[in-house]
Amino acid sequence: MVPAIAVCAFGLIAPKKTGVVMGDARLELTIDAPAPNSVVGDPGGMAFVAGKALAHFGEYQTFDIMFVIDRSDSTSAPAGMDVDGDGTVGRKPFGRAFSIFGDAIGYKNTDKGDSILAAEVLAVGTLLDQLDPRTTRVGVVAFSGDPDPFTPDAETWVPLTTDYPKVRQGLKQILREGPYGRTNMVAGVMTGTVELLGLQSAYSVAREDAKRIMMFLTDGVPTLPLESSPNQNTRLTLERARKAAELGVRIDTFAISDGALRNPVVAVEMARETDGEFTPVRHPKDLVTLFEDVSFADIEELKIRNRTTKKDAEYVMQSPDGTFSALLPMREGRNTVEVFARSSDGTQTKRRVQLKYLKDAAAQELDPRLLALRNRLLENRLLDLRRRSMALRVERDENVRQKLAEEIEKERAEAEVRAKEARRRLELEVEKEEDDRE
């Protein structure tokens, strides 16, 4: 964690250039793999395809993303999932604890590793896995709240950086220190904005052409900077959001659990004022899944197809910053790969690349980043094949059981008929014996 930032309470100083230029989209579409006219081999009959599809509104070429994480006391509550993977799910056995004066002193949780804060950290890490450090810098701010004016309510744990391992270390440190205090959203928004703009008190250096995005996560409502003044705290938070919007910052908000959704006006309006997106997260355990679908690329449709075989790609992965990867079925010989992209404003374009597929040829040569993506796709494919195999086995077993049940019913019916005939014969024989005795 870097030292706390002192932010002027009366406003932010605007940089010379905000980087906001609205207009029609300039659609960037590139294919990084396979290389044109390359020879590709893969026993599975698949070629790895990777590239980038990104709609530029103005001159954006890069992304600066600041995660602003709520670490107030309430985030110690259970997330409803096994976040830390220890085999148990934290739960809230007796509710929130209160002091003799009626003040809340903590949230009960049988497993601190399964808290809402832990789910926030895990979700950020999940999104980090999908980003490209070549174009995307990431930073982390955490906020809570303390009525002591000398205690900072928001701190920059990681300035904007492409060193993602450093970001992960910052996230782990936040989790180690754990939840604390109340909820000063004003401080969170202001500190995140200062870092994204690279102002004088920031620890981050500004990139003038970057698209500036604040990912704001909270499970509550603003209870500070003013004591017992929820309406004024709401107005102050929204004023900070409007100022951030004027300075070219977009805020995507995530309102987590009942605490934030009972009165979601701050999260909804912050996103609306900054042309961001509001996401309600009723169940904290869903946060990771939602972060897997986050996108900043403004791409409405992406299609990857082998024009030679007329087959579409399998196991397509699209990252938030526009990078994509997929496995595309090949046939022996020449193949034409086509990638189609359409942006949210309707702008569309295509790119094609030709390659030669030979089953016994060497595998594609990939840099470490692309190799990691390819391995992830292959793992997904293997898991899917296993699931399909299991499903087929279950279906086969079910068919066997069904056939056996039908055979049993048939045999049962035939046996009952035979038994009925035998009983009838037996009755006749008994009657005849009785007649003979008479």
Condensed to tens digits (0 to 9), the pLDDT of residues 227-261 reads: 888 889 999 999 999 999 999 999 999 999 888 88
pLDDT-derived band of residue 26, with 50, 70 and 90 as boundaries?
Answer: confident
Q: Is a pLDDT exceeding 50 seen at residue 22?
A: no
* Nearest Cα to Cα of residue 241 among 15, 72, 12, 16: 12
- How many Cβ atoms sit within 10 Å of the Cβ of residue 428? 10
| 200: Cα separation from own chain's centroid | 33
Q: Find the range with the poorest average confidence among 13-22, 191-200, 281-290.
A: 13-22
Helix axes 116-128, 164-177, angle to 10 degrees: 180
**Residue range 98-117: mean pLDDT, rounded:** 64
Adjacent-strand bridge partners of 63: 136, 211
Of all residues in the chain, the percent with pLDDT exceeding 90 is: 44
Condensed to tens digits (0 to 9), the pLDDT of residues 49-65 reads: 999 898 876 566 689 99
Chain position carrying tokens 């030679």: 308
Of all residues in the chain, the percent with pLDDT exceeding 70 is: 79
Determine the Cα–Cα distance for residues 111 and 109; give it in Å rounded to an integer.
Answer: 5
Residue 313's contacts (CB-CB under 8 Å, 6 or more residues apart) are 49, 304, 305, 306, 326, 327, 328, 329
Condensed to tens digits (0 to 9), the pLDDT of residues 315-325 reads: 888 888 888 99
Q: What is the pLDDT of residue 110?
A: 76
